[in-house]
Structure 1
């Protein structure tokens, strides 16, 4: 199969995260609006081209007050930086469907190289003859590296919001050409 473009199937895709809250539990959230572009030959992923764009204003943690605070200058500053972006810079096979996917991640105007553990599955035909490709990626980023340092001290010691953010991405693509 030659390199081709793949269109994101949003109805079978999602981006979620979790962060430690009060040092006792995890708060989970997701981004509801995002897009991705991929050009790839599934038989030779060395030349994979991929970008992901996330609308910061689509953040949802099931708490409107918290969501508003996350969009504020204390965190993402969504008015000034409305998008989070990831652009693939390299990919390394780890065997089978497992890869190390490295790219430039930009949050709130700060760009850092990050590596995610990725699983790339397919291609496979769905019951209607469409060729599909799946990408799942997981990793941990540290919000302080992107200038997101707001916090509050707890009376019992420690901080209100953890620094490590666990990221989980599930994307399904349909071959476009």
Structure 2
């Protein structure tokens, strides 16, 4: 084999190797470059507010989990998945919490988890983003756009080799779109239909 042909073959093999490697890293089903973040539950909250007649009533969910891969410079491989346990609802009134978990509202025994799973994340500029995906509450799944703001990313001075980030999200849901409130409770004269939701998440990741 002459030198020109040998060099051509070698160049082809090297190029093929890099193409195959790149293709595999993108399509193996796992985010390979976006940072994997874990929620610091002690410094995070999932809260909501809804009206009862005219008065706003607030509450929160204490138990939730997530799988977050996020890099503002690599949105292609970024994704957000959040699961919220319905029976962890807390409005500071046990009787009301029990009613919310009952078949009149969330029916937590039959539908214990609310979920959001993104299929893409886009940037709106100024550290604001939209996670496009599916939101499931009870037996209803809808297309949903989850807006969020990246509050910042920095080295965590309290934990060696760890980075910390903050994310804030505020949005409004219509409970009747998801069948939360049936029978007499489907009406909005007593319990309002719009629910203001706020997510404040402190995230940690290991430095590579």
TM-score by length of 2: 0.76
Determine the structure 2 residue equivalent to 1:7.
38
- Equivalent residue runs for 1:42-81 within 5 Å: 42-81=72-111
Looking at both structures, which has the greater relative contact order when contacts are Cα pairs under 8 Å and sequence separation is at least 6? 1
Determine the structure 2 residue equivalent to 1:145.
177
TM-score (norm 1): 0.89
Q: Greater helix share, 1 or 2?
A: 2
Query: What stretches of structure 1 of length at least 5 have no aligned partner?
Result: none
The Cα offsets for residues 121-169 of structure 1, whole Å up to 9 and x where unpaired, read as 3321121342012211111111111112334599xxx611011111100
> For the Cα contact (< 8 Å) 1:42–1:123, is it kept in 2?
no
Q: Does residue 18 of the first structure (1) align with residue 49 of the second (2)? A: yes
- Quick one: distance in 1 between partners of 2:128 and 2:134? 20
- Aligned pair count reads 172
Unaligned segments of structure 2, at least 5 residues: 1-32
Whole-Å separation in 2 of the counterparts to 1:153 and 1:99: 33
Moved more, 144-153 or 94-103: 144-153
Relative to structure 1, the CA distance from residue 45 to residue 123 in structure 2 (aligned partners, 3 Å threshold; closer, same or farther) is farther
Runs of at least 4 residues off by over 3 Å = 149-154
Match status 1:110 vs 2:151: no
What SS is found at the alignment partner of 2:78? strand
- Give the structure with the larger strand fraction: 1
